[in-house]
Amino acid sequence: MRLDHPVGVAAAALWLPDRRSTAENAGADGRPAAGAIRDLAHPSLPDAGEVSAPDMAVRAAEEALRAAGVRGDRLGVLCHAWMYYQGHDLWSPPHYIARRLGANDALPVGIQQVCNGGATAVELTAARLAAEPERGYGLVTTADRFVAPGFDRWTADYGVAYGDGGTAVLLRTPADGNDPLLLRAVSTVASPELEEMHRGADPFAGAARTHRPRVDMRATKRAYLRSHGREGFAATNERCVRAVVAGALRDAGLQPDDKRIRCAVLPRFGRKTLRDSWLPVLTELVDTELLDWGRDTGHLGAGDAIAGLAGLMRHDVLAPGEFALVFSAGAGFTWSCLVVQAPALD
């Protein structure tokens, strides 16, 4: 998505709980294999305990609004994205978040695109603000809490471990000269033929966790690989990463060797997954530093992209005029790249 005028990134926040989970206290299936722990390379993961996912989103949102000096009643749209259960059945988390923030005039929207939900919500919110600039501010939040009995954060998936946390990013049009970042472009590509990886051979069920007492993405992936093999997914992943980079650079008006591209922020996957599926492709496509900020957090469900934006601001990574590419990907499959720039000095 090419933006004729940049959307201002007024603030971004990542809220993490103090409590930590280690592989040694993994859930009902016991401690993960030593090899899997080495491949993940996470010493521990944030564990929210009794703090609900929507309340983590509220805490991140409050931090972002406070940093920007903006009240909740100035929001025109609020998008909340999530991957896992939010605490109630047949209920709207974004409306709860809007109510808690005093955003009673905002349009609350829920985005469920699994792990790529945060990046998708940023794209849709930016498009809405570009189409209706009178809405002024748009807030995107994410939050996920991966807890027993339904989810074992260490063993639910291959190559990925899941940390609890909330994220928020405040967008505005028109962009303000004081915005720490400008959103220049968003590129997204999808490969729907891979949806079966998270469905496997299971029949459709009438209620959640009917087939198994816990979410087990390993089981559905094993079923998919038995039918289709590994080569197809690897080839599709490489093709889509290439496509999302090409689209992002094109829409932002950049060349791959542009020295203003300061860094690329990786999705928060396990070390082996990044090493095998992401680093070889990205190092070929862009000559820049690749930042892996997921060692202490693990994968944040829908929140990886916004956590990346928050990290860019917190660490003051970009000099005036420099760009960053922020990546996200999720089941379905969908890949996204956000292109942000630090405003150039006048």
Nearest Cα neighbor of 326 from 182, 139, 138, 119 is: 119
**Number of neighbouring beta carbons within 10 Å of residue 254:** 19
Residue 165 has a pLDDT of 98
pLDDT at 177: 80
The rounded Cα 287 to chain-centroid distance in angstroms is 23
| CA nearest neighbour of 160 among 271, 264, 30 | 271
- What pLDDT does 136 receive? 85
CA distance 267 to 291: 9
Tell me which residue of 64, 39, 57 sits closest to 95, measured CA to CA: 57
pLDDT of residue 189: 98
What pLDDT score was predicted for residue 30?
A: 56
CA pair distance 249, 240, nearest whole angstrom = 14
Three-state SS at 91: coil
Strand partners, 169: 12, 140
- Residue 3: per-residue pLDDT: 83
Cβ of 21: how many Cβ atoms within 10 Å?
A: 26
pLDDT along the chain (346 residues), means of 10: 89 97 68 78 95 98 98 97 96 98 97 96 95 90 96 94 98 90 97 94 92 93 90 92 98 96 98 96 96 97 98 97 98 97 87
At position 206, the amino acid (one-letter code) is G
| The two structure tokens encoding residue 76 | 């025109």
Domains in the chain, start-ordered, CATH in brackets? 2-178 (3.40.47.10), 183-341 (3.40.47.10)
Alpha carbon 111 to its chain's center: 12
